[in-house]
A and B are shown apart, each in its own frame.
Chain A
């Protein structure tokens, strides 16, 4: 089975890597990182801006490109399904073949300028890259789920965009509204729970705490720092990210196995 997964992944990745959009994606992060490292003043400020761009752009591009790629590959997937291979192996191969080039393009775009400038904060930069790769893995799975759930391309792309708007933009507003509504209560712990419920928020907190800006977040920042700074908190955060990667992948695989093509 693994052989089939890798063969499908290799063919899919080869096709993805030759597409113009993946090259533009890598160049975007390359130019952004290079520009910020040159002009943003301190490397800490530059990293904060790179992290912000990562949290917004990686989920959006990953969702859009994977959703479009699955719709474009529909007939090809049908052709592969007519071969004597397992559906689960084909799904894993398509997922890896789409996700790996996206993660590699993002990582190359950020890592190359950082390596060139020999930033003193390279350890934190690595955390940003690792979080970006994790977000790529999560949102590739979500993109696949969306494209496999609806056959209508427009509706699928709309749903993908909606998921991005909800997780990257609206979620913070909802959390803020909850904080405002329950400002008289100790809501730091429920806030921790809400952070786990959105992978972008979880990623943001993990990056911010490494960037030493938690102090600016007052008491809440201190609670978060205490929680995520400890071994148990870090392990829980890492576990939550793994769960966020595994859940859309598992749901997508289940959908793929049952789908009528």
Chain B
């Protein structure tokens, strides 16, 4: 279980997270939604330690996340933008990550095949298309069999087939009790994947709970309309 208590993050005078309280349950897929600038990426980056929280605390399975970087050994992260050193190959990148962690890791051969990545591994990353680099990004996030998978706009730039393959893999991971956090603007994708949803607005959690609860609470047919209804209510 991941717990965030009164998490605040300020960049100069800009208060991006203004006291986020959140519980992410183990073995479930939780979607983070909100308009641009709501604090989704900052929340993810703070959870990963890329941003330093101004105040508040983060606990993973009861352990407070602090200066010890070892908690990140359990996390697989797929950032929104897949930009890597352009003169390296995907194989070299995987090898480097394995060396860095001192872990063997296991490349998912089936995923590589289904994403059509197997014959792209030895090409310099600069010659790969944005979509192919995004596939490399996905394989890297899954390299070390994570307990917690954090995905920031995971299907951005992927073709429909690859997007479906990745979503299938995410659902299979949930079946293995992996906790998944997904930030996305694509509501249909979140509806397809997520058990729970967190709605952020102006750096504050406005809703956190199962998708079904949100749709019934707002009396809307789907997640997209439920979020829209919530936004209208909050703005009014």
Contacts and interface: CB of A to CB of B under 8 A. Distances in A.
Interface of A: 3-4, 7-8, 10-12, 14-16, 18-19, 72-76, 78-87, 258, 260-261
Given A76-B83, A83-B97, A258-B52, 4 more contacts: A15-B85, A18-B88, A82-B48, A84-B71
B51 A7 contact: no
Interface in B86-141: 86-88, 92-93, 96-97, 99-102, 124, 140
A83 B72 CA distance: 6
Contact of A75 (B48, B81, B100): B81
B19 interface: no
Contacts of A4: 100
B84 A76 contact: yes
Given A11-B96, A15-B86, A82-B72, A260 B101 contact: no
Given A82-B48, A84-B69, A11 B88 contact: yes
B79 interface: yes
B52 A7 contact: no
Contacts of B48: 81-82
Given A73-B85, A260-B50, A85 B100 contact: yes
B75 interface: yes
A84 B52 contact: no
10 contacts: A11-B96, A14-B92, A15-B87, A16-B87, A72-B86, A78-B50, A81-B48, A82-B79, A85-B101, A260-B51
A84 B79 contact: no
B70 interface: yes
B88 A15 contact: yes
Interface residues of B, number: 34
B199 interface: no
Residue among A10, A15, A16, A79 with most chain B CB within 10 A: A79
Q: Is the interface of B mostly helix, strand, loop or mixed?
A: mixed
A87 B68 CA distance: 11
Nearest to B85: A15
Given A7-B100, A80-B100, A84-B101, A260 B52 contact: yes
Contact of B45 (A74, A85, A261): A261
B209 interface: no
B79 A79 contact: yes
Residue among B71, B86, B100 with most chain A CB within 10 A: B100
A86 B50 contact: no
Given A15-B86, A15-B88, A84-B101, A7 B49 contact: no
A14 B87 contact: yes
Contact of B83 (A15, A75, A85, A261): A75
A27 B9 CA distance: 48
A82 B50 contact: yes
Nearest to A258: B52
